Amino acid sequence: MPARPLVLFPDPRLTRPAEPVDAFGPSLQALADDVRDTLMAESAIGLTAPHIGVPARLVVVRMSPNESARIYVNPVVSWASPETATHDEGSVSMPGVRERIARPARIRLSYRDLDGSAREAETEGFPAAVLQHEIDQLDGVFWIARLSRLKRERLLKRFEKGRPA
């Protein structure tokens, strides 16, 4: 499948909650392939269906170039540690800016695979931050909403300065 165009900030689709996936089959596989191919073309770590304009709860993550992409359908954080960790975050939908965000250091998530089978996984550190970032996107929480008002305003100014006129 070809890579699809990205939805770019400040498109309002980036702040709308995605719809749960209830049909598992060839069309879901095709969507997952498109999200994966777009992730690879953008050299991203994580990407959601809303990033390519499809309001479905689907995440694709590939932590390193030599790793296979992992697909999460309808992911939900079912538990988060009280301890936090801070990591640099950004978005392919808002290129050129990054900021440090604190999130729970460890999480457990529930999700479905492409066949619709229920799964659970636990992760920590940077992979946990990536999954939380992408699940936020599915919930309509664009990553800059996690910043203080002051940090968000500064980041938006940096972003505007870096955009072509």
Q: Which residues does the annotation mark as catalytic?
A: 134
* Residue labelled with tokens 């996107």: 137
Interacting residues of 110 by C-beta distance below 8 A, sequence separation 6+: 75, 76, 78, 118, 119, 120
C-alpha to C-alpha distances, 151 to 100, 131, 136, nearest whole angstrom? 10, 22, 19
